[in-house]
Chains A and B, each alone.
Chain A
Amino acid sequence: MSSSAATSGLELLEGSTAIARAAITAGCRFFAGYPMSPFTGLLESMARLLPGSGGVCINAQSEIEGVNMALGASAAGARAATGSCGQGIALMQEAIAETALNETPLVIFNMARNQQDYFQCTRGGGWGDYRTLTLAPKDIPEAVEHTQLLFHLADRHRIPTILYGDPLIAQTRIGVRIDPLELPPLPAKDWALDGSRGGTGHSRQIWTWAMGKATDPGPGPDRHWQAIAEKFERIGAVEQRSEGFGLDGAETVVVAFGSAAKFTAHVIEELRDAGHSIGHFRPITLWPFPGEALARATEHARRVLVFELNAGQMLDDVRQHAADRSAVLPIGGVSIHESGLSYGPLLDVPVIRERILAAMRGRRRLAARAGLSAGSRG
């Protein structure tokens, strides 16, 4: 291959390796995980790369142990992370809620098998009033950026953050550069445990109930959890991220996230070239969902088509925020590769084009039915 401006300085890397290197570039110094496809490659990359960078990677005996190890490392001030796919992250839910409620920053890599973890990422399965800030990159270069951003946001807000990847991001290769992201400085972690205040009456404490010490009382659960809820409300307002094109006056708006959005964007560019009035909207943060931007983007739309590879999860958020709720129509569906470990035949440009055109011809019912029966097609 000849070297060109577009490819100079690029390294051909598997997504998992690129993400591991991005994490280390971001200052991650602790990782613990348990193998599960397609997350395994990230664990292997961390095990290979972290020790040489002054960090620690531990083979956890379970996802539960892994996430609690990472919580401990973070409580002691290190940038720490864990990961799995949705099935393993299901086991981590209690600890993810705990990190939100005791304000320990943590990055969780969900190298998922498909898009069926949208609810898990954005709603969570732990207890309490918390949210998990989730970034869904469309490809490996964006995952490299998001990884660094997530460590920053986790520290800045003292929250758990999730990278929602998939097999296309974890297990394919692309020419990529691991450029350090320019991010504003953060305050020192004066809350982190190091023992140094022991015996002073003001020793440090990390506790979901925030009771404090007899000599230094904390706010207690009532005030602490109210403050946590208010914090997530603030984050929800300031951290929304999205992108789109062709939205100005578009009759049809297609909404998709993650790798799927790369496919839909391609189809929509083709359809726009053919003269159709159609635009593309991609939530980059799944939580906070970019609701205000979606409301603006769909202001003039006759139809808002939601393409996601699940039975309709982001659909709830789109319906909540679209300018006209009745214009929202699902055109995705459950579609799983026969291995169970990746996407099925629905993630394919001709299939997506067909579904969008069917919906644009007003064949709503047909498109909807096609969406629900996707798993049995092809």
Chain B
Amino acid sequence: MSEVIATDRPPEGAADRVAEFRPSLIVGEHSLCPGCGEPVALRILLETLQELGIVERAIGVVGHGCYGSFVRIMDVDVLQCLHGRAPACATGIKRVQPAAAVFTLQGDGDMVSEGLAEVLHAAARGENITCILLNNGVFGDTGGQQTATTVLGQRTKTSLDGRDPVSHGHPIRIADIVAGIDGVGYVARGTVGTARGVARTKRMVRSALETQLAGKGFSLVEILTMCPTGWFVGAPQGPDYMEQSMARAYAPGELRVSLGDER
């Protein structure tokens, strides 16, 4: 880190430099597309586990989507579960190991399409678990089809002329719904399209996990993540596209907070 990097030629060691920023809990290269927001969210999550000092009691439950491949590169205990059922599995884990820090990693297809019942009932039970939703508004893993969170007007392979509410219904704002359920300790929505968004989202993930550790009930952080491949835009356009589409439909911010002044 201390050596001087020459600026009169392309930096030969650039890749290594980037790698040095990788948290030690990421033990391999991810295999997702250029411009994807999900690896950013993974890094936020794993860094936060380390900063809170809870790695050795962290248990993850990972659903099905592109982020499922993270199971190979995240160095924490993981149950790779069935599509949509992560909050149910996480409930079983937490109830028999109350001291564990239990989180789920789910996409919008996983949590809001396939597994809506599981997340709502886990929230209503006030389960002391933390659900992380990676919301990119498409089924990325299968190549860009409409999910329950696809925004109106968004073109997908199964809404070719854009999501039209008459034909395809309306997107579900899951974080807003969960924030209205008794038993919920913390709900927030962040983005990873900008450096500011990343920093803010990281604070949200920390607050969610702290809520769990304090036994204050269910916590959810919805993270808007870029999917340029599934949105059919270039990788560099991902963050701007997200700001103009998803971030307008899903306003970032904290929606429910129960850990009060003590923090």
Point out residues on A near B: beta carbons under 8 Å.
29-30, 32, 56, 58, 60-62, 64-66, 68-78, 80, 94-95, 98, 102, 193-201, 203-209, 211-215
CA distance A76 to B59 in the complex (A): 9
CA distance A193 to B57 in the complex (A): 9
Min CB gap A56→B, angstroms? 5
Considering the complex, give the chain B residue whose CB is closest to the CB of A207. B80
Given contacts A30-B96, A77-B96, A206-B78, 17 further A-B contacts (CB under 8 A): A30-B95, A58-B95, A64-B85, A69-B95, A73-B95, A77-B97, A98-B82, A194-B100, A195-B76, A198-B25, A198-B75, A198-B76, A199-B50, A203-B74, A204-B78, A213-B72, A215-B28
When distances are taken between beta carbons in the complex, the residues of chain B under 8 Å from A215 are: 27-28, 75
Knowing A61-B117, A206-B78, the reply to whether A32 touches B100 (Cβ < 8 A) is: no
Within 8 Å by CB of B96, from A66, A73, A196, A203, lies A73
When distances are taken between beta carbons in the complex, the residues of chain A under 8 Å from B97 are: 76-77, 194
Say yes or no: B55 contacts A68, CB within 8 Å: no
Min CB gap A155→B, angstroms? 15
Taking the complex as formed, is B81 at the interface, i.e. its CB lies under 8 A from any CB of chain A? yes
CA distance A207 to B62 in the complex (A): 10
Say yes or no: B28 contacts A195, CB within 8 Å: no
Knowing A61-B117, A73-B96, the reply to whether A199 touches B55 (Cβ < 8 A) is: yes
Taking the complex as formed, is B17 at the interface, i.e. its CB lies under 8 A from any CB of chain A? no
When distances are taken between beta carbons in the complex, the residues of chain B under 8 Å from A94 are: 82
CA distance A327 to B95 in the complex (A): 54
When distances are taken between beta carbons in the complex, the residues of chain A under 8 Å from B74 are: 203, 213
User: Which interface class (under 10, 10 to 19, 20 to 34, 35 or more) fits B?
Assistant: 35 or more
Say yes or no: B78 contacts A205, CB within 8 Å: yes
When distances are taken between beta carbons in the complex, the residues of chain A under 8 Å from B101 are: 195
Knowing A68-B82, A73-B96, A98-B82, the reply to whether A201 touches B27 (Cβ < 8 A) is: yes
Say yes or no: B72 contacts A68, CB within 8 Å: no
Within 8 Å by CB of A78, from B56, B89, B91, B96, lies B96
Say yes or no: A196 contacts B57, CB within 8 Å: yes
Taking the complex as formed, is B251 at the interface, i.e. its CB lies under 8 A from any CB of chain A? no
When distances are taken between beta carbons in the complex, the residues of chain B under 8 Å from A204 are: 77-78
Say yes or no: A209 contacts B80, CB within 8 Å: yes
Taking the complex as formed, is B32 at the interface, i.e. its CB lies under 8 A from any CB of chain A? no
Taking the complex as formed, is B188 at the interface, i.e. its CB lies under 8 A from any CB of chain A? no
When distances are taken between beta carbons in the complex, the residues of chain A under 8 Å from B80 are: 102, 205-209
Say yes or no: A199 contacts B96, CB within 8 Å: no
Say yes or no: A199 contacts B88, CB within 8 Å: no
Say yes or no: A214 contacts B73, CB within 8 Å: yes
Say yes or no: A71 contacts B78, CB within 8 Å: no
CA distance A112 to B101 in the complex (A): 38
Considering the complex, give the chain B residue whose CB is closest to the CB of A75. B79
Min CB gap A213→B, angstroms? 6
Taking the complex as formed, is B220 at the interface, i.e. its CB lies under 8 A from any CB of chain A? no
Knowing A198-B56, A198-B58, A214-B28, the reply to whether A205 touches B71 (Cβ < 8 A) is: yes
Most chain B CB within 10 A, of A62, A64, A75, is at A75
CA distance A204 to B93 in the complex (A): 14
CA distance A197 to B25 in the complex (A): 11
Say yes or no: B75 contacts A201, CB within 8 Å: yes
CA distance A75 to B61 in the complex (A): 10
**Can you list, as one digit per residue, whether each of B110-154 has a CB less than 8 Å from chain A (1) or not (0)?**
000000011001000100000000000000000000000000000
Knowing A198-B76, A207-B71, A208-B80, the reply to whether A68 touches B89 (Cβ < 8 A) is: yes
Say yes or no: A193 contacts B79, CB within 8 Å: yes
Considering the complex, give the chain A residue whose CB is closest to the CB of B61. A72
